[in-house]
Amino acid sequence: MTNPLFDALFGVHAGSQARFIETPDGRTIRYAEFLALVAQFANVIRDRGLEPGDRVAAQVHKSVEALALYGACVQSGAVFLPLNTGYTADELGYFVSDSGAALLVGDPAAAARLAPLAADLGAQFLTLGGDGGGSFAQEAAGKPRQADIAPRSRDDLASLLYTSGTTGRSKGAMLTQGNLLSNAQALVEHWRFTSADTLLHALPIFHTHGLFVACNVTLQVGGALVYLPTFDLDDVFRLMPKCTAMMGVPTFYTRLLSDPRLTAEATGNMRVFISGSAPLLAETHVSFAQRTGHTILERYGMTETNMNTSNPYSGERRAGTVGQPLPGTEVIITDPDTGQERSAEEIGSIEVRGENVFQGYWNMPEKTAEELRANGFFITGDLGKFDADGYLHIVGRSKDLIISGGYNIYPKEVELVLDEVPGVVESAVVGVPHADFGEGVLAVLVQGEQGAIDLDAVRDAVSGQLAKFKHPKRYVLISGLPRNTMGKVQKNVLRDTYATEFQL
């Protein structure tokens, strides 16, 4: 038996002296050097007694070595569990306990609190720092630069990724080798990546976007990464001329637009800018094209499925949409109550089927049965519609749907109107408890540096474009929306913050 994911992403580069990673300080790591490090790390995992299928949890800062740890798990057959560096010890304890991780790798600076936690949960503990140091790296330094490749199949687990857990317990999405490999292959084809590409990588690698999209696509074709620890505008502008592609969250693009250095000349060597993980405002889409001549390519994915749809590489990249289904992926819109498929322009539940769709939730068979249909379709929890040309529009999460006075209100529809009003930088619409209507529509508006928003102009825009039952009953002005590490607006935080707004 082979190891499909390792063979396709790592083993295929054995002996290659092609450039793989370049760090901001000018260090270059070639494929052969990286694979030797992966093998040394795999030997640590195996010599620590871990067997294929055992879980390795990692809360480590982004580094070359952190990426090598992922490769080592693939090579040794361990299941990789990357964890957000912002998680507290209590949150970390849940993930280690729930996954049954045999090894926890953490930052050296956190060893005093993480080592006892790991011991209490029956896990071994090693450290790996953002500078590449730590006990894991020290142990690896004495290991052989070659290692056995654990036999695995496409159906074997490669990773556990936990959902954000904004409602209830976080769920561990079980991703197989086939899930990850099929998606990387589809993206390479759709976005036309080749070995000639150099990807500007400023995303975290504890998330699908930065790890399984950006890194797997690059590994699949033998391309290169310009590997930034964080998104730093000075580094981005300095290094962009040697890059051909960038994957980012919408915040990256708004920050680029805020800088006068963003010009057509500055982006002259780039062939594609890709955005995901959160909705991209149509205004950002248009402004970026005007400034640079590049039309951002927006796509749609999630933890449980990797990428599902994408705007075309050649063809119209339509602002406000996430494109069409990727090769090998089926996407349908269904009635949330009956499951019956809906027609174009009808809003409903987005469901996805394909080899990219996960196996289910770790230790949660009931939750898996609720969200994975017998016919293989996954109920994403997102609401959307296909337009007449087959482009998918996301209108919100099912849990964000507002039911006010018996009427269904889709927040995105209201937000699109609000965002067009002069002075409104962006908006978020949520439903909060209301004595008469069950839920009242609350609009949270972010104002720019130019001054206060003219609320009369906002109300006039809403009155002119939306039915009365969709009108916000109250407006709140703030300086910025709460977001998670991937740039998604945390509407649960807004609902909690303004829960008593209509009870005053």
- Asked whether the predicted pLDDT for residue 421 surpasses 60, the reply is yes
Q: Which domains does the chain have, with CATH numbers?
A: 4-16+25-152 (3.40.50.12780), 401-503 (3.30.300.30)
pLDDT band (50, 70, 90) for residue 250: confident
| Radius of gyration of the chain, Cα coordinates, nearest whole angstrom | 23
Determine the longest span between alpha carbons in the chain, in angstroms: 71
Q: Which amino acid is at 307?
A: M
Kindly state the tokens that stand for 293: 């001549």
Buried b vs exposed e over 306-333: b needs ≥16 C-beta within 10 Å?
bbbbbbebeeebbbbbbbbbbeebebbb
CA-based nearest residue to 498, from 430, 446, 435:
430
pLDDT tens-digit profile of 397-415? 787 888 787 677 878 889 9
Of 104-108, 444-448, 465-469, the poorest mean pLDDT is in 465-469
Kindly state the tokens that stand for 496: 């909690």
- Asked whether the predicted pLDDT for residue 327 surpasses 90, the reply is yes
Average pLDDT along the chain: 93
Distance separating alpha carbons of residues 372 and 367, to the nearest angstrom? 9
Distance separating alpha carbons of residues 197 and 270, to the nearest angstrom? 9
- Asked whether the predicted pLDDT for residue 481 surpasses 90, the reply is yes
Kindly state the tokens that stand for 329: 């992926």
pLDDT above 90 covers a percentage of the chain that reads 78
Q: What is the pTM of this model?
A: 0.85
For Cα atoms 328, 331, 335, give the angle at the middle one, nearest 5 degrees. Answer: 155
> What average pLDDT does this structure show over 277-306?
92
Strands 19-22 and 28-30: antiparallel
